[in-house]
Amino acid sequence: MVVQLHGRAGDAATRDWRPAITRGVRGRCPHCGEGRLFRAFLKPVDRCESCGEELHHQRADDLPPYIVITIVGHVVVGGLLLAEKYGDWPMWWHMALWPALTILLSFALMQPVKGGVVGLQWALRMHGFGGEPDLPERQPLPPRGRQP
Ligand SMILES: [Zn+2]
User: Any residues with CB less than 8 A from the CB of 112 and at least 6 apart, and which?
Assistant: 24, 25, 26, 27
Whole-model pTM?
0.76
**E strand intervals along 89-147:** none
- How many whole angstroms from 50 Cα to the centroid of ligand 1? 5
Widest distance between CA atoms in the chain: 67
Tell me how far apart the alpha carbons of residues 78 and 118 are, in angstroms, rounded to a whole number: 29
Of 63, 57, 61, 62, the residue nearest 125 (C-alpha): 57
- How many whole angstroms from 23 Cα to the centroid of ligand 1? 10
**Which tens digit of pLDDT belongs to each residue from 94-139?**
999 999 999 999 999 999 999 999 999 999 888 877 776 665 555 5
- How many whole angstroms from 105 Cα to the centroid of ligand 1? 28
- How many whole angstroms from 124 Cα to the centroid of ligand 1? 16
pLDDT score at 7:
47
pLDDT score at 54:
87
- How many whole angstroms from 37 Cα to the centroid of ligand 1? 8
Domain extent listing, the chain:
17-134
- How many whole angstroms from 55 Cα to the centroid of ligand 1? 9
Which residues are registered as beta bridge partners of 54?
A: 47
- How many whole angstroms from 16 Cα to the centroid of ligand 1? 15
